[in-house]
């Protein structure tokens, strides 16, 4: 952890603090007593939070942890997740409230009220039922940010089917492995998507992915760009032809609190993505609870915008489930932040009077690069809470965000969580916490986290180590799809004696006991807030015929947090390691995984640094990638390797 410690020493020289204004604190949803209330009795506290939802049958027990690490929350309770996110708001007289202000990249817009959302979700639920999709079936969704994406997710939830949303930027190979792993019966996609002003095909990629996929019976295609698409008679159906004519009546069935809600694949330390499984009652409780308090959301008053894509967990918990359960009015934007110009987000904030804005550090740093003149051109006075998620936020970016987007006045909440945790775990509360730029600070009320050393002992103030979650929480993952053993092994084996969940992140306490997150301690990279495993990129590289061996590291990058740097040894007969060969390899990775996994840099080297047991020493490669002096090489099997690598690079080979 030496590199991380030095990064942290820099961070800890940061001593600015930003308390909430008295005015904000006076009206805030959360006061300081929320912590003491939760500490007094955690289960009673969570039971109270679960009352935010409508339960058809009340639970008999808050938590059953007897079969740890497989939790059951709100045991024997029954509810319908989609009813909670949609119907009940219509029934309580808010049918005319806008749920979604949708903004298409080319500039087309659509406002969808809760009444309309209810009709659309009901029709889509009936459509899925008409295709024979039922409770426990899996539906894969690869869609860009169009309203149908949200409607499709809620329609699955409504009938008890599991969705598995696959990010639109993933390659056909990546989609296929997810469809196969979940044995999806139906795939929902679109003809194409607008990206940076151009229409790019989606359906054609999906067809490529599904060639020979035996589980898939139907493919539903949303029409967006209007471009021609390849068509498989008998399998493919247009969304508008299938859904529009369905009945608007659908009675939501109440499912068990532990009924599976969705699978979302995320990168682990091996090449094979993990299907993270989330269930219903506990997940929705914590998603709604955190959205209410962390963003200080006030239904009917606030306009909320989370800029994530539904392909990631942030889109699941903070566009779909948490916000809609809380009767949000939210912006959903289809496109990229600089199309057609770099002020696009601020133009949207101004137009819809967005009051809560939640984004990722990588985008904040991009905004910084574009310059403060751009947000300054717009009226951003509606904003009152800003949020950040996905990677550690550096204090400069935090302060820039507050000054230039938040008028030097709004609270900024740095929220730490993971696909696995399902909802926010560590974060300031905007009306309570004296914020420190760069620190996520404290576990939320009801949540328990610790920083521990190798032996699972908690470190003291000023100490660093591993972040663990030492008590179960309602929205925790319930396992890895089809692989209970991998679930135990990945998260629960490291600190098995104490029964701690190992998050995979390094962290440190400052002298006040606040938590600072330091990034991953495993072989997972974080590029623009996206998790990509080094092994996944390595296997993509070695699947190319010219590559003999590959090692991949995440090197720090001023904009994307980390950038992917690959070291490859070419096969003996593939002598040409020139620019063209390197470009070809970058494209190969994009084809195998997706453009997000394209290495920033590929270095052709004669050897890789390995220990005597054959383990690649990524630490040394990271030194090279970050232009640092190479660290301790004494554990290398052959200590001259690093000289060979450095001299090869200097001579430009």
**In the complex, minimum distance from the CB of residue 314 to ligand WTA, in angstroms, rounded to a whole number:** 5
> Residue 84 or residue 441: which is nearer to ligand WTA going by CB?
441
Classify 606 as helix, strand or coil.
coil
Please provide the size of the chain in residues: 653
120 annotated to a ligand binding site:
no
**In the complex, minimum distance from the CB of residue 358 to ligand WTA, in angstroms, rounded to a whole number:** 11
362 annotated to a ligand binding site:
no
- Placement of tokens 């950040």 in the chain: 388
- DSSP letter at 492? I
Closest CA to 240 of 104, 146, 130, 127: 127
**In the complex, minimum distance from the CB of residue 388 to ligand WTA, in angstroms, rounded to a whole number:** 6
Q: Is the peptide bond before 166 cis (omega within 30 degrees of 0)?
A: no
**In the complex, minimum distance from the CB of residue 498 to ligand WTA, in angstroms, rounded to a whole number:** 20
φ, ψ for residue 427, nearest 5 deg: -175, 150
392 annotated to a ligand binding site:
yes
Contact 112, 147 (CB under 8 A): yes
72 annotated to a ligand binding site:
no
359 annotated to a ligand binding site:
no
**In the complex, minimum distance from the CB of residue 428 to ligand WTA, in angstroms, rounded to a whole number:** 11
400 annotated to a ligand binding site:
no
314 annotated to a ligand binding site:
yes
> Residue 266 or residue 355: which is nearer to ligand WTA going by CB?
266
**In the complex, minimum distance from the CB of residue 520 to ligand WTA, in angstroms, rounded to a whole number:** 5
Radius of gyration of the chain (CA): 24
Measured distance CA(480)–CA(402) in Å, rounded: 38
Classify 369 as helix, strand or coil.
helix
- Side-chain-side CA neighbours of 291 within 13 Å: the count stands at 34
492 annotated to a ligand binding site:
no
Which parts of this chain interact with ligand WTA (CB under 6 A)?
A: 266, 312-314, 389-392, 414-419, 440, 503-505, 517, 519-520, 526, 531
Closest CA to 129 of 251, 307, 290: 251
Measure CA 524 to chain center: 14
**In the complex, minimum distance from the CB of residue 242 to ligand WTA, in angstroms, rounded to a whole number:** 32
> Residue 494 or residue 531: which is nearer to ligand WTA going by CB?
531
Distances (CA, A) of 251 to 80, 247, 258, 288: 10, 11, 20, 23
- Side-chain-side CA neighbours of 151 within 13 Å: the count stands at 29
**In the complex, minimum distance from the CB of residue 559 to ligand WTA, in angstroms, rounded to a whole number:** 16
> Residue 207 or residue 391: which is nearer to ligand WTA going by CB?
391
- DSSP letter at 426? B
Q: What token pair was written down for 334?
A: 């289809």
**In the complex, minimum distance from the CB of residue 625 to ligand WTA, in angstroms, rounded to a whole number:** 19
505 annotated to a ligand binding site:
yes
Contact 272, 178 (CB under 8 A): no
**Residue 541: enclosing H or E segment and its boundaries?**
helix 534-542
Determine how many CB atoms are found less than 10 A away from the CB of residue 450. 22
5 annotated to a ligand binding site:
no
**In the complex, minimum distance from the CB of residue 66 to ligand WTA, in angstroms, rounded to a whole number:** 28
**In the complex, minimum distance from the CB of residue 293 to ligand WTA, in angstroms, rounded to a whole number:** 16
Residues 539-568 as b/e (b if ≥16 CB within 10 A, e otherwise) read bbbeebebbebbbbbbbebeebbbbbbbbb
29 annotated to a ligand binding site:
no
Q: What token pair was written down for 564?
A: 């992917």
Distances (CA, A) of 487 to 217, 277, 437: 30, 10, 34
628 annotated to a ligand binding site:
no
> Residue 406 or residue 428: which is nearer to ligand WTA going by CB?
428
> Residue 126 or residue 279: which is nearer to ligand WTA going by CB?
279
> Residue 478 or residue 610: which is nearer to ligand WTA going by CB?
478
110 annotated to a ligand binding site:
no
**In the complex, minimum distance from the CB of residue 276 to ligand WTA, in angstroms, rounded to a whole number:** 8
> Residue 125 or residue 440: which is nearer to ligand WTA going by CB?
440
> Residue 64 or residue 510: which is nearer to ligand WTA going by CB?
510
195 annotated to a ligand binding site:
yes
> Residue 392 or residue 446: which is nearer to ligand WTA going by CB?
392
> Residue 175 or residue 524: which is nearer to ligand WTA going by CB?
524
355 annotated to a ligand binding site:
no
**In the complex, minimum distance from the CB of residue 310 to ligand WTA, in angstroms, rounded to a whole number:** 13
DSSP, residue by residue, 6-28: HHHHHHHT----BPPPHHHHHH-
> Residue 313 or residue 451: which is nearer to ligand WTA going by CB?
313
CB-neighbour burial class of residue 251 (10 A; exposed 0-12, middle 13-18, buried 19+): exposed
455 annotated to a ligand binding site:
no
SS3 of 119-169: the string is: HHHHHHHHHHHHCCCCCCCEEEECCCCCHHHHHHHHHHHHHCCEEEECCCC
600 annotated to a ligand binding site:
no
Measured distance CA(479)–CA(587) in Å, rounded: 34
> Residue 275 or residue 504: which is nearer to ligand WTA going by CB?
504
Q: Helices 618-625 and 641-650: crossing angle, nearest 10°?
A: 20
SS3 of 170-215: the string is: CCHHHHHHHHHHHCCCEEEEECEEEECCEEEECHHHHHHHHCCCCC
Contact 515, 441 (CB under 8 A): yes
Measured distance CA(70)–CA(64) in Å, rounded: 9
- Binding-site positions for Mg(2+): 542, 544, 547
- Binding-site positions for ATP: 390-392, 414-419, 505, 520, 531
- Binding-site positions for CoA: 195-198, 314, 338, 528
- Binding-site positions: 195-198, 314, 338, 390-392, 414-419, 505, 520, 528, 531, 542, 544, 547
């Amino acid at each position: 952890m030496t590199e991380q410690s030095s990064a942290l020493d820099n961070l800890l020289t940061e001593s600015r603090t930003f308390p909430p204004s008295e005015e904000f604190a006076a009206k805030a949803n959360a006061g300081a007593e929320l912590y003491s209330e939760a500490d007094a009795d955690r289960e009673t506290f969570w039971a109270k939070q679960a009352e935010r939802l409508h339960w058809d049958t009340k639970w008999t027990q808050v938590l059953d942890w007897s079969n740890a690490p497989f939790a059951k929350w709100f045991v024997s309770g029954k509810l319908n997740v989609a009813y909670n996110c949609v119907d009940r708001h219509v029934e309580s007289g808010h049918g005319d409230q806008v749920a979604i202000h949708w903004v298409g990249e080319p500039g087309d817009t659509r406002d969808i009220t809760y009444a309309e959302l209810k009709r659309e979700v009901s029709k889509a639920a009936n459509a899925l039922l008409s295709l024979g999709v039922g409770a426990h079936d899996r539906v894969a969704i690869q869609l860009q940010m169009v309203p149908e994406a949200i409607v499709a997710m809620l329609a699955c939830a409504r009938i008890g089917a599991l969705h598995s949303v696959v990010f639109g930027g993933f390659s056909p190979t990546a989609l296929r492995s997810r469809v196969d792993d979940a044995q999806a019966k139906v795939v929902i996609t679109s003809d194409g998507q607008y990206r940076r002003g151009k229409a790019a095909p989606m359906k054609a990629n999906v067809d490529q992915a599904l060639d020979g996929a035996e589980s898939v019976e139907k493919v539903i295609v949303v029409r967006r760009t209007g471009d021609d698409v390849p068509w498989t008679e008998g399998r493919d159906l247009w969304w508008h032809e299938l859904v529009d004519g369905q009945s608007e009546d659908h009675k939501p069935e109440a499912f068990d609190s532990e009924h599976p809600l969705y699978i979302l694949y995320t990168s682990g330390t091996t090449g094979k993505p993990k299907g993270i499984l989330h269930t219903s009652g506990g997940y929705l409780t914590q998603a709604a609870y955190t959205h209410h308090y962390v963003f200080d959301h006030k239904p009917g008053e606030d306009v909320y915008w989370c800029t994530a894509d539904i392909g990631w967990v942030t889109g699941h918990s903070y566009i779909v489930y948490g916000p809609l359960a809380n009767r949000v009015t939210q912006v959903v934007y289809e496109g990229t932040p600089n199309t057609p110009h770099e002020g696009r987000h601020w133009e949207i904030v101004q137009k819809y009077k967005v009051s809560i804005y939640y984004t990722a550090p990588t985008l904040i740093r991009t905004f910084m690069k574009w310059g403060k003149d751009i947000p300054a051109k717009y009226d951003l006075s509606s904003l009152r809470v800003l949020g950040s998620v996905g990677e550690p936020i550096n204090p400069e970016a935090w302060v820039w965000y507050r000054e230039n987007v938040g008028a030097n006045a709004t609270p900024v909440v740095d929220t730490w969580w993971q696909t696995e945790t399902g909802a926010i775990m560590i974060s300031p509360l905007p009306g309570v916490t004296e914020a420190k730029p760069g620190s996520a600070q404290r576990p939320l009320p009801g949540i328990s986290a610790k920083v521990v050393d190798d032996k699972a002992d908690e470190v003291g103030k000023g100490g660093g180590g591993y972040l663990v979650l030492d008590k179960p929480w309602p929205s925790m993952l319930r396992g890895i799809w089809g692989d209970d053993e991998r679930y135990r092994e990945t998260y629960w084996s490291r600190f098995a004696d104490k029964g701690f969940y190992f998050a995979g992140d390094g962290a440190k306490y400052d002298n006040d006991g606040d938590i600072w997150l330091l990034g991953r301690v495993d072989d997972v990279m974080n590029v623009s807030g996206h998790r990509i495993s080094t092994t996944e990129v390595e296997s993509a590289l070695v699947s190319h015929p010219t590559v003999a061996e590959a090692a991949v590291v995440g090197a720090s990058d001023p904009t994307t947090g980390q950038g992917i740097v690959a070291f490859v040894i070419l096969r003996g007969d593939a002598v040409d390691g020139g620019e063209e060969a390197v470009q070809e390899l970058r494209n190969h990775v994009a084809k195998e995984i997706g453009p997000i996994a394209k290495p920033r840099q590929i270095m052709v080297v004669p050897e890789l640094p390995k220990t005597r047991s054959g383990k690649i020493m990524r630490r040394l490669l990271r030194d090279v990638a970050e232009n640092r002096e190479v660290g301790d090489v004494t554990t290398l099997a052959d200590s001259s390797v690093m000289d060979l690598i450095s001299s090869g690079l200097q001579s430009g080979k």
